[in-house]
Amino acid sequence: VSDTDEPLALLVHRLETQAELSAQDRGALLKLPYTIKAFDASTYLLREGEAPSACAVLVSGFAYRHKISVDGAKQIVSLHVPGEPLDFQHLFLNEADHNIQTLTRGEAALVPREAFRKLAQERPAVMQALLVNVLVEASIFREWVLNVGRRDGRSRIAHLLCEFAIRLDAQGLTNSNGYELPMTQEQIGDATGQTAVHVNRMLKALEKEGLVKRMGRCVSFADWRALRDIAGFGERYLHLGKQGA
């Protein structure tokens, strides 16, 4: 089932995994105007300092957020899998504080920023769903602070893989023969606060332990539960399931 035909249905589905929406809310969301944009790997969808003009939803492919420090070091601050909205973090801010870049080729649905804001302001449930999405992302950022601040190199990578697996599952993108992270070792380093060289060493260690396999430029793994222990991974921070009291 390709969701590319109905990009906004993907978004509605995503929001409904986190919050309650009425039939009217769903209908209004599906009636939002949008355009489809195809992109290559490494395309910038938004740059720090820009005023965001659209609200993108990732339809296929993978993307990430990153920041560059004054001395040129790059830090990836989050990963995104298909179905996830990319611009809620800026929807009510004047200026982007980070970059959004694609990891692979893929497609995004671009909804005009104003249309989305107007809908959110008119429909409290939509605004709340948006808020829940932002809150969960904020929780993930906090976990990443812990990850880069307090875990060693090997554990950080394991943690990244665990989170990726769970988030793929949450989007129903599970591949029965394991997970495959489409990142170069340099990108894994940028996400975990290490150099590509050290990522290579840690990855080899994990491979020797039988926890991951590598083919080409992807890291694949079949058993994220085995990684969980060495990552100290707990899924509470992902706030899976519908939020609402």
Partner DNA sequence: CGTTATCTTGACCGTCGTCAAACAGGGTGG
Partner DNA sequence: CCACCCTGTTTGACGACGGTCAAGATAACG
Give the residues lining the site for a copy of itself (CB under 8 A): 19, 48-49, 51, 65, 67, 69-71, 73-75, 77-78, 89-95, 97-98, 117, 121-122, 124, 127-128, 130-132, 134-139, 141-146, 148-151, 192-193, 232, 234, 236-237, 239, 241, 243-245
- Taking CB within 5 to 8 Å according to partner kind, which of a copy of itself, DNA, none is near residue 138? a copy of itself
Q: Site mask, DNA, residues 119-158, x = CB under 7 A?
A: ---------------------------------xxx----
In the block, tokens 């809620």 appear at: 88
Q: How far apart are CA 117 and CA 122, in angstroms?
A: 9
**Contact between residue 221 and residue 166 where contact means Cβ atoms under 8 Å apart:** no
Q: At its nearest, how many Å lie between a copy of itself and the CB of residue 235?
A: 10
In the block, tokens 């004047």 appear at: 94
Contacts with 118 (C-beta within 8 Å, 6 or more apart), sequence order: none
| Alpha-carbon distances, residue 58 vs 1, 15, 82 (angstroms) | 16, 13, 5
For residue 206, the one-letter residue type is: L
Q: At its nearest, how many Å lie between a copy of itself and the CB of residue 70?
A: 4
- In the complex with a copy of itself, the residue whose CB is nearer, 66 or 105, is 66
What is the dihedral angle through the alpha carbons of 228, 188, 215, 227, rounded to the nearest 10 degrees? -10
- In the complex with a copy of itself, the residue whose CB is nearer, 135 or 197, is 135
Helix axes 185-192, 196-208, angle to 10 degrees: 100
- Residue 130: both structure tokens together: 């948006």
Among 200, 220, 232, 239, binds DNA (CB under 7 A): 200
- Which of these ranges, 59-67, 124-132, 198-206, 234-242, lies near DNA under the rule CB under 7 A? 198-206
For residue 180, which of 145, 210, 205, 217 has the smallest C-alpha distance? 217
Q: At its nearest, how many Å lie between a copy of itself and the CB of residue 83?
A: 20
Footprint of DNA (CB under 7 A): 152-154, 184-186, 193-198, 200-204, 214, 216-217
